[in-house]
Amino acid sequence: MKEKILVVDDEEGIRLLYKEELEDAGLNVHVAASGEEALAKLEKDKFDLIVLDIKMPGMDGIEALRRIKERWKNLPVILSTAYHHYKQEFGTWASDAYVVKSSDLKELKTTIKDILRK
Amino acid sequence: MGYDILSKVIELTDSTEALEKRLKDVAYLLIHSFAFDQCAIYLLDQDKKVLTLAVAVGSKRGCQEEYREDEGLPGLAIKNGKPIFATQSKSAKELWQGGLDKGTNGFNTIVCYPIKDDWFHGVLYLKNKEKKTISIKQKRLLGVITLQLATAIKNYQCIVNLRDINTKMKDMQYRLVNAEKLLALGEMAASLAHEIKNPLVSIGGFAKRLSHQMSLDSPYMSYVDRIVKEVAKLEKLMDGIVHFSKEEGYAFSSEDINSIIEETIAFFEDDFKKNEITVIKELSLNVPKIDVDRQHLNLVFNNLMTNAIQAMEKGGRLTIQTYQEGNWIVAEIHDTGGGIDPKIMSNIFNPFYTTKETGTGLGLAITHSIITNHKGIIEVNNNIGVGVTFIIKLPLAGKEGRILEAS
């Protein structure tokens, strides 16, 4: 049985890239374009892990993270963002991991595998 | 006669010539007017506490280059704050025989007059082979002359200090303007960076997927490879722009600077081959680890090597050295790309300044800012027609910090 993950990002290009790359890595990948859409999907479906963008219009990743961890305390969340320094600015202590976006998805894949293995 | 000499001294010391020339003119005047064989003027370095020979005219015999503040007759004149007049006689025997000042050997009359007004500036040292008496009138005249010399020296030093302050102020002004430019750049970068990074990740990521699906012998493989590589460089540049204005974005950890350099060299391996650049590594194995932000320092070497590669399009030699120098870890990057046009030297660290068609003008501005954020120093040695050496000095401050913590 493939592990099911949800990629949340407002950028279509990122959603497409992550979906294809992570599916090639053997995962069942679903996508959401906003924090609101992600929460709606989580209500209906059960996921093993979330990859969550921080900067999104409407409900941003930090607010979505807070709500997800309130409802689904044990659901792992990886925060994904464009630049390293947002880590300091936003305080991402509540997430399980933090990955800076890159055209090289090695780090993201390794992080996902490490968390799912636990 | 006294009045004539004095007015001549005033005329000479008030001239617009360099100080050394003025002192020399006065010294010549004195050996002729007072009939001495040698006249030397020593200037006192208040910090180093030494008297250094500024000018010497006439016989050069026994004319010492330097006296410590407590050494010899010049030292004694400073210590007592009074002139020494002596001739080889019983009463002054100790001056010669006591080894107090070897410079008196072969002379039988000496005058050692401190040059002072409200503080000491140096010593006027006159020597004569023959015994001779110096009249009270002459002694008084020498007193007025040394006072005039003191004024000239003091004025000269004031001008030097003023020039120094002026240079420092200009430098500070330049830094301030530069800091403002960087701040504006940082704000602009932050708003743009997010919009640019996401499409970049998509382009690079999909180009990579494309390359995985192409057969290795496809003629388009090199195109896709180019896209992947260029995107990787752009991503690095964007990371740099976002980071360099924000010190809080730095994550310091104990790193081996050699391994960061090796990593960057490996990144450019293809470019070195293409441009026929020989890379010479002289990395000291004894360089201790220091607290740096690995990503940022990577960017520094990336920028410097990019510049070097562009400067050596027709081949050359890139020499990279690391070593420890006191409390600094030093990395030198030397190319043989012909050097930088001296007209643009003062601009090279300015953001948006570029001479390259495709340049952003950010490489060296970012490099400078990263090194500054590491409390380090970056220096440029420009050897026109030969090449450039960038010298990066990073402090061993982390180590000091730990020592303080331990105590």
d(CA A70, CA A56): 20
For residues B52 and B44, give the distance between their C-alpha atoms in angstroms, rounded to a whole number.
6
**With an 8 Å Cβ cutoff, is B4 touching chain A?**
no
CA A95, CA A86: separation in Å to the nearest integer? 13
In whole angstroms, what is the distance from residue B220 CA to residue B237 CA?
Answer: 26
In whole angstroms, how large is the CA radius of gyration of chain A?
Answer: 13
Confidence of residue B253 (pLDDT cuts 50, 70, 90): confident
Contact at 8 Å (CB) between B317 and B281?
A: no
Q: Does B295 touch chain A (CB under 8 A)?
A: yes
Q: How would residue B3 be classed by pLDDT, with cut points 50, 70 and 90?
A: confident
The CATH 3.30.565.10 portion of chain B extends over 251-407
**CB–CB of B231 and A84 under 8 A?**
no
Give me the residue from B198, B231, B232 closest to A11, CB to CB.
Answer: B198
Q: What is the pLDDT of residue B99?
A: 55
**Parallel, antiparallel, or unpaired: how do β-strands A97-100 and A77-81 relate?**
parallel
How many CB pairs below 8 Å do chains A and B form together?
A: 71
To test the contact with chain A by mutation, choose from B197, B224, B239, B370 the residue with the greatest count of A C-beta atoms within 10 A, namely B197
Q: Could you count the other beta carbons within 10 Å of the beta carbon of residue B337? A: 23
Instruction: Find which of A35-44, B133-142, B189-198 is predicted with most confidence, using mean pLDDT.
Output: A35-44
Q: Which amino acid is at A10?
A: D
CB-CB under 8 Å, B249 with A88: yes
Q: Where are the beta strands (DSSP E) in B120-238?
A: 120-128
d(CA B127, CA B85): 10
Domains of chain A by start residue, with CATH: 4-97 (3.40.50.2300)
Distance from the Cα of A115 to chain B's closest Cα (Å) equals 23
Superfamily of structural domain B2-162: GAF domain (3.30.450.40)
Contact residues on chain B for A16, CB-CB shorter than 8 A? 202
What is the CATH architecture of B251-407? 2-Layer Sandwich (3.30)
Question: Is the C-alpha dihedral spanning B167, B171, B176, B180 positive or negative?
Answer: positive
Tens-digit pLDDT profile for residues B43-90: 998 888 899 999 999 988 888 899 988 888 898 888 888 998 888 765
Position B213: which residue type?
A: Q
| Integer Cα distance of B218 and B176 in angstroms | 54
Residues of chain A with Cβ-Cβ distance to B239 below 8 Å are: 83-84
Q: How confident is the model at residue B94 (pLDDT cuts 50, 70, 90)?
A: low
What band does B407 get if pLDDT is binned at 50, 70 and 90? very low
Q: What is the pLDDT of residues A74-111, one digit of tens each?
A: 999 999 988 765 555 555 567 888 888 999 899 899 99
Pairwise CA distance, residues B80 & B114, whole Å: 9
Beta bridge partners of residue B333, listed in sequence order: B320, B390
**C-beta of residue B64 within 8 angstroms of C-beta of residue B102:** yes
Q: Between chains, do A17 and B235 touch, taking CB under 8 Å as contact?
A: no
User: Could you give the 3-state DSSP secondary structure of residue B277?
Assistant: strand
Where do you find CATH 3.30.450.40 in chain B?
Answer: 2-162
Question: What's the average model confidence in pLDDT over B3-7?
Answer: 86
Chain B nearest C-alpha distance from A68 (Å)? 24
CA distance B294 to B299: 9
